[in-house]
Amino acid sequence: MKRICLLLTFALGMTASYPQSGYRLWLDYKPLNEPLSDQYRTHIRTLVFPVNSETDRVAKQELLLALDGLLGYQPELTDRIEGSGALVIGTPASLPLLDDVREAQGALPKHDEAYAIRSIAGDNTPMTVIIGNTDRGVLYGVYAFISLLQRSQDISMLALAEAPKVQLRVLNHWDNLDRTVERGYAGFSLWDWHRLPGYRDPRYTDYARANASIGINGTVLNNVNANALMLTPAYLEKAATLADIFRPYGIKVYLSARFSAPVDLGGLEDADPLNPAVQQWWSEKVAEIYRYIPDFGGFLVKANSEGQPGPQNYGRNHADGANLLAEALKPHGGVVMWRAFVYEDTEPEDRAKQAYNEFKPLDGKFHDNVIVQVKNGPIDFQPREPFHPLFGAMPHSQLMMEFQLTQEYLGFATNLVYLGTLFSETLRADTYCYGANSTVARVIDGSMNKQPMTAIAGVANTGTATNWTGHPFAQSNWYAYGRLAWNPDADAGTIAEDWLRRTFGNDGSLIDALLPMMMRSRETAVNYMTPLGLHHLMGWDHHYGPGPWITDKMRADWTSVYYHKASKDGIGFDRTVSGSDALSQYVPEVRAQFEDPQTCPDEYLLWFHHLPWDFNMKSGSTLWAALCHHYYHGAEEVADMQAVWAAQQDKVDHIIFQEVTDLLAIQREEARRWRDACVLYFQQFSDMPIPDGLESPEHPLEYYEQQQFHFVPGI
Amino acid sequence: MKRICLLLTFALGMTASYPQSGYRLWLDYKPLNEPLSDQYRTHIRTLVFPVNSETDRVAKQELLLALDGLLGYQPELTDRIEGSGALVIGTPASLPLLDDVREAQGALPKHDEAYAIRSIAGDNTPMTVIIGNTDRGVLYGVYAFISLLQRSQDISMLALAEAPKVQLRVLNHWDNLDRTVERGYAGFSLWDWHRLPGYRDPRYTDYARANASIGINGTVLNNVNANALMLTPAYLEKAATLADIFRPYGIKVYLSARFSAPVDLGGLEDADPLNPAVQQWWSEKVAEIYRYIPDFGGFLVKANSEGQPGPQNYGRNHADGANLLAEALKPHGGVVMWRAFVYEDTEPEDRAKQAYNEFKPLDGKFHDNVIVQVKNGPIDFQPREPFHPLFGAMPHSQLMMEFQLTQEYLGFATNLVYLGTLFSETLRADTYCYGANSTVARVIDGSMNKQPMTAIAGVANTGTATNWTGHPFAQSNWYAYGRLAWNPDADAGTIAEDWLRRTFGNDGSLIDALLPMMMRSRETAVNYMTPLGLHHLMGWDHHYGPGPWITDKMRADWTSVYYHKASKDGIGFDRTVSGSDALSQYVPEVRAQFEDPQTCPDEYLLWFHHLPWDFNMKSGSTLWAALCHHYYHGAEEVADMQAVWAAQQDKVDHIIFQEVTDLLAIQREEARRWRDACVLYFQQFSDMPIPDGLESPEHPLEYYEQQQFHFVPGI
């Protein structure tokens, strides 16, 4: 047993650069200085953990690493359960079936990935059992146990049992083969394609550890705007190496498939899904992929959207396209995740209606290994959107959720915006499709329509940044996504607190200060970006900063004016029956919430209504005044965040403290820019003064319109 | 005093992922387990280190970090020298001028950056003094002292005094503003331009620490193929933030200037250096830069080369162009580094002659704040080149060296190639320009022609890779460059050993195994890539892998066939009087070494001569057989490297062990590919069999010719 002790001293108020903060994410096992450490030592005296697989091996390794870091010792390793304080870990098959173990087994849900953690009094031999039906369940149980220790929880009377509510919990990497990342703000792609398959970057393993620790069990390696090269032997061999590294952590590899691959690679004349040669090509290609990756997860496909090829190129529909690939994958157990984020080639009356219009008629037409991937809202990952009307609207199809972790429309990696609340808001929204309490979560977890396959996707926010996500707090969005993917009903506040404790330790005053800041942060961003249901106001193309003035692009629905429709007569997109009638895509109970501007919640007011500037808000003020107050309040809230953070100086690592201090200062500037640009822009139409007591914008509107940003990342 | 103790256990043969290896470079202060630790404790009992500047602050911080990590304790901090075991650090101005301090001061060279380290017996108060004329000298002294500890050197009788032999020791980053890096193989640019100036990535500080620790005192932030945007206020503000971070570490910021900036940014009609409006524009632009960066170092310029604009566009010469910028910089103390790596627009008779032909006639025409930056060899950073004929040939001009750390032609970040030997080979080459012992080093350090300004540049191999350089051993090239920049006469072997000790510890058997491997590694690469003076055989454009068949490109001198000239009658580039006569650019003593193929060293044979396949080598074999043996031997040597490395498994961090194991396996494949591709290609012309005893290539030539590499990094 080799032991290396690194002593790091932050001496005399001088800062030391070690460790490089953030790389270890929420798995930085710093020593606990807690009263419970003694309890932990008595309950983790010996360890019985039979290793029968690579998954067992990595789970045991993680546990020992955690114990050593958190508690500073290693338990005695043994293969016999005797004496008190045994930690017993395994499956019913791997463990001796003592009565105690059977008791734990009895608590275990019937699910491949389930685990139970039980404190068992025993006959003079109190012990703790972590049991799973499979080694993957054991792995999740081990991570859950580590989390208990990190959060200083009492482990003397544990009775936990958990199974994931969603089967396929995947990250979508919009990573290109040249290592750029579309909408990536944390550096570049983690995948060093050039040096794969030979060079196995140690970071791949740490990526797998982080994902496994929050229950993510799949990853789509390449961008949905896919390059067909990904499906060639050279790249499949590379992907196979990643799959080999991820496999012990319970993570399957998926690939984005370019629909025209039979033409691009196979030399066929078309990629028509009804062409037998095309079907044959995919069948052979899929068989080839499974030779490289025996447990390959399947394909993610973006087709007939933003210029990507698809079945409509050949007069077929999305079901034809998805089923083509599904048939090829079926014999191997693979699935197709088919995105519903589509465009017609022609300009729509209301882009918000498109996915529903195209997919609703196809309900029931998809094969049973196809699942339709629907973004959380009907436009495109805006700071706030109502839930997507497809949720609940396709009872005979399998639907999955697509969230975006990378902050494309939420300030990139410079804005502190905790997305747990955004995700949860959508998941808890009630579609009423099957009566009250038909929440989006219940659609996604399959409990509404009994769909056999369930899935959820998050567009990853990871990159080559040392701390993975660019902004230290953006780690919490990766974390929250994993936790909500496992349990869409989980509480965003609990998740945020868990993340804070695992990241910054268990100082109560720090949690009390930072938790409310995180929980408020998304509403803050909505306020200074797109309050009152406004949306799609961002800068052209790169989506950085405000651009309410964006007009005259290739398509009207790529401009801002299309969405806010500000004019002398008012602002907002009328989606009621008097307008685009997008509201009709929701069931009556939902429509009733939104269709009357007098009762529509402020959060969605201008999403559904076009209203005059002097519209009388529920608060009594005019719409114009309310709009201004939201923008100004949002910017002020960032100043509040700065003050909250500044007070934590002595409680967090000095490097992270400085990083977040820097980033909040940037965020404050960005919030002011959003505020001033939008207020000045809309004021042209309202012709009303900025309400008393609010400071004047620093610059005239032209200044903001003329700001140029070069080499904005993520494109 | 806060103390954080991280206990890392590699338990039971299971590997732990912490720490993420390599980030800390040679500054990873792991505990010393050496007999000398006791000596260190008695000699570093108290610390007297007055802090009067930011540079003092960071030097003291680094020392305390190192002592804590290496020795596990902090000395008592005091401002009085009393008792034995005092470590006294400062300048003559900051320290009490006791006799002991005066003694140390007496040893101090007269140079701003010099330091002396002296053990002083004293009257009952033996102590150690680290003294510099400036705080920068102190900083270098502190790093030198830390290095002594890391390498377990006796510190009881120290009498060191050091001053750098070259004044400006800079890195050239070929980093683009979109964060791609031309010829970058370690990920992407360290500079997160988008989040500058607000977000100060902690990595910037660690970059500065690493450079300061090896004496680098300048950095050119952007690519020589420059974007004029770099000179706009938005980017100058970003560069200024980097300059602020680097300044305490004695590092100045320089920028690559696009010669056409007066047109691109200033709206002028031309950038003619004799146009007063152009002169005025540069004068104002430079004044503006100095408002952002008061100690701005100056410009690096690539002009009239590979499509870059330059003075020749207006019928002026390189001196006109360089002097234009020099005049603008002069009042502020800035310098111009003007690259001699130039092309004529027309195809040259011999590209090797171009720089000399263009620059030699300009000798004496450059202003005194211009220094001409010359690559080590006359072609372009090939695995082996003779020294550049300009060295020593411009006695009335200031010349500096440009080395390439990034392995553009040496296998990128997959090949273990220690470049200290390559750099040293050039620096020790004798130009004979001022008689015997007119080494390139003595040209560079100014001792030959008494040039007042001296400089050296290294094209950086750093990037976003966690370990900075992609290949763990590529760190040694950054390290060696810094050490040779400080002292061009330093021994490459000593430097390699120092790096090994600081990186892997002081295990004697490990040093004995790895040092010869490193020292041999560059010759190994030459053998399997370009033996016997061959050059420029690499793949098209991306420069990855072999491409001796490259022909028919825009310019003949961008092809391989132009350089090897293989045909039925032989192989090699005749640069004697019967050929291009490039040899005439060297003085007679040098010519004499090379002009007779019977006596020309094998290393340069085909660089200077075109010889028949059956040419009789000094070894007695034919040229063809010798060529084959070099290629095969090179590939075999990589197998030897694998064996040497495999034997170190228990002696190095398990993550680095696995990384290097992976990379050596890739290198072995690449070496075989080079070998087989080149031998098969040349065999077409030699019509001779591969010598007995050598295995047959695995594939036919067509296989190698048809290999395609997509998205090769670094372009």
Which pLDDT score, from 0 to 100, does residue B1 have?
31
d(C-alpha B691, C-alpha B679), whole Å: 11
Peptide bond into A311 cis (omega under 30): no
Catalytic residues of A: 306, 380, 408
Residue B494, number of CB atoms within 10 A of its CB: 12
Contacts of A181 in chain B (CB under 8 A): none
Residues A199-211 as b/e (b if ≥16 CB within 10 A, e otherwise) read bbbbbbbbbbbbb
B120: Cα separation from own chain's centroid: 36
Percent of chain B exceeding pLDDT 90 equals 90
Q: Do A666 and B198 touch (CB under 8 A)?
A: yes
Residue B205, number of CB atoms within 10 A of its CB: 19
Select the more confidently predicted residue: A707 or B345: A707
Which pLDDT score, from 0 to 100, does residue A291 have?
98
Chain A: residue whose CA lies nearest to B465: A464
- Point out the residue among A6, A414, A655 whose CB comes nearest to the CB of B30: A6
Q: Where residue B123 falls among pLDDT bands split at 50, 70, 90?
A: low
Chain B: residue whose CA lies nearest to A3: B9
Residue B686 reports pLDDT greater than 50: yes
Q: Which of A530, A602, A522 is nearest to A564 (CA)?
A: A530
User: Which tens digit of pLDDT belongs to each residue from B135-186?
Assistant: 999 999 999 999 999 999 999 999 999 999 999 999 999 999 999 999 999 9
Chain A: residue whose CA lies nearest to B74: A11
Residue B124 reports pLDDT greater than 90: no
Interface test with A, best of B2, B6, B176, B462 (most A CBs within 10 A): B6
Residue pair A62/A142 in contact (Cβ under 8 Å)? The answer is yes
Q: Where residue B20 falls among pLDDT bands split at 50, 70, 90?
A: low
Contacts of A60 in chain B (CB under 8 A): 14
Residue A396 reports pLDDT greater than 50: yes
Spell out the residues 6+ positions from residue B422 whose beta carbon is closer than 8 angstroms to its own: B376, B383, B384, B522
Q: Three-class SS string for A399-463?
A: EEEEEECCCCCCCHHHCCCCCHHHHHHHHHCECCECECCCEHHHHHCCCCCCCCCCEEEEECCCC
Chain A: residue whose CA lies nearest to B72: A7
Spell out the residues 6+ positions from residue B27 whose beta carbon is closer than 8 angstroms to its own: B66, B209, B210, B213, B502
Q: What is the CA radius of gyration of chain B?
A: 26
Q: Do B198 and A414 touch (CB under 8 A)?
A: yes
Q: Do B61 and A15 touch (CB under 8 A)?
A: yes
Q: Do A206 and B21 touch (CB under 8 A)?
A: no
Q: Do A17 and B206 touch (CB under 8 A)?
A: yes
Q: Where residue A4 falls among pLDDT bands split at 50, 70, 90?
A: very low
pLDDT (average), residues A355-381 = 97
Residues A233-257 as b/e (b if ≥16 CB within 10 A, e otherwise) read eebbebbbbbbbbbbbbbbbbbbbb
Interface test with A, best of B32, B44, B74, B194 (most A CBs within 10 A): B194
Interface test with A, best of B12, B26, B79, B195 (most A CBs within 10 A): B195
Which pLDDT score, from 0 to 100, does residue B11 have?
28
SS3 state of residue A46: strand
Interface test with B, best of A25, A33, A57, A195 (most B CBs within 10 A): A195
User: Which tens digit of pLDDT belongs to each residue from B560-574?
Assistant: 999 999 999 999 999
Q: Do A64 and B12 touch (CB under 8 A)?
A: yes
Taking the complete model, does pTM exceed 0.90, yes or no?
A: yes
Contacts of A193 in chain B (CB under 8 A): 711
Chain B: residue whose CA lies nearest to A10: B2
Chain B: residue whose CA lies nearest to A59: B14
Peptide bond into A109 cis (omega under 30): no
d(C-alpha A684, C-alpha A673), whole Å: 17
User: Which tens digit of pLDDT belongs to each residue from A530-553?
Assistant: 999 999 999 999 999 999 999 999
pLDDT (average), residues A630-644 = 98
- Distance (Å) from the C-alpha of residue B486 to the closest C-alpha of chain A? 25
Q: Do A64 and B1 touch (CB under 8 A)?
A: no
Residues A673-707 as b/e (b if ≥16 CB within 10 A, e otherwise) read bbbbbbbbbbbebbebebeeebeebeeebeebeee
Peptide bond into A19 cis (omega under 30): yes
Q: Where residue A1 falls among pLDDT bands split at 50, 70, 90?
A: very low
pLDDT (average), residues B394-413 = 98
ipTM: 0.95
Mean pLDDT computed over every residue of chain A? 94
Q: Where residue B83 falls among pLDDT bands split at 50, 70, 90?
A: confident
Contacts of A659 in chain B (CB under 8 A): 199-202
d(C-alpha A194, C-alpha B186), whole Å: 11
Catalytic residues of B: 306, 380, 408
Q: Do B7 and A72 touch (CB under 8 A)?
A: yes
Q: Where residue A715 falls among pLDDT bands split at 50, 70, 90?
A: confident
Q: Three-class SS string for B212-267?
A: HHCCCCEEECCCCCCCHHHHCHHHHHHHHHHHHHHHHHCCEEEEECCCCHHHHCCC
Structure tokens at A200: 């196995």
Residues B157-186 as b/e (b if ≥16 CB within 10 A, e otherwise) read ebeebbbbbbbbbbbbbbbbbbbbbbbbbb
User: Which tens digit of pLDDT belongs to each residue from A37-83?
Assistant: 889 999 999 999 999 999 999 999 999 999 999 999 999 999 988 88
Chain B: residue whose CA lies nearest to A188: B188
Percent of chain B exceeding pLDDT 70 equals 97
Contacts of B9 in chain A (CB under 8 A): 1-4, 64-65, 68, 74
Which pLDDT score, from 0 to 100, does residue A657 have?
95
Q: Three-class SS string for A332-384?
A: HCCEEEEECCCCCCCCCCCHHHHHHHHHHHHCCCCCCCEEEEEECCCCCCCCC
- Distance (Å) from the C-alpha of residue A370 to the closest C-alpha of chain B? 32
Which pLDDT score, from 0 to 100, does residue A122 have?
67
Spell out the residues 6+ positions from residue B317 whose beta carbon is closer than 8 angstroms to its own: B311, B358, B362, B365
Mean pLDDT computed over every residue of chain B? 94
Strands A46-48 and A76-77: parallel
Q: Do B665 and A229 touch (CB under 8 A)?
A: no
d(C-alpha B557, C-alpha B380), whole Å: 11
User: Which tens digit of pLDDT belongs to each residue from B193-227?
Assistant: 999 999 999 999 999 999 999 999 999 999 999 99
- Distance (Å) from the C-alpha of residue A549 to the closest C-alpha of chain B? 23
- Point out the residue among A9, A64, A662 whose CB comes nearest to the CB of B200: A662
Q: Do B659 and A202 touch (CB under 8 A)?
A: yes
Residue A20 reports pLDDT greater than 80: no
Residues in chain B: 715
Which pLDDT score, from 0 to 100, does residue A346 have?
73
Q: Do B464 and A229 touch (CB under 8 A)?
A: no
Residue pairs spanning A and B at CB distance below 8 A: 231
- Distance (Å) from the C-alpha of residue B569 to the closest C-alpha of chain A? 38
Q: Do A5 and B2 touch (CB under 8 A)?
A: no
Select the more confidently predicted residue: B82 or B444: B444
Which pLDDT score, from 0 to 100, does residue B8 have?
28
Which pLDDT score, from 0 to 100, does residue A2 have?
32
d(C-alpha A660, C-alpha A646), whole Å: 9
Q: Do A178 and B8 touch (CB under 8 A)?
A: no
- Point out the residue among A6, A14, A205 whose CB comes nearest to the CB of B64: A14
Residue B9 reports pLDDT greater than 50: no
Residues A308-346 as b/e (b if ≥16 CB within 10 A, e otherwise) read bbbbbbbebbbbbbbbbbbbbbbebebbbbbbbbbbeee
Residue A621, number of CB atoms within 10 A of its CB: 16
DSSP A595-636: S-TTTS-GGGHHHH--B-TT-B-TTSSBHHHHHHHHHHHHHH
User: Which tens digit of pLDDT belongs to each residue from A328-361?
Assistant: 999 999 999 999 998 776 777 899 999 999 999 9
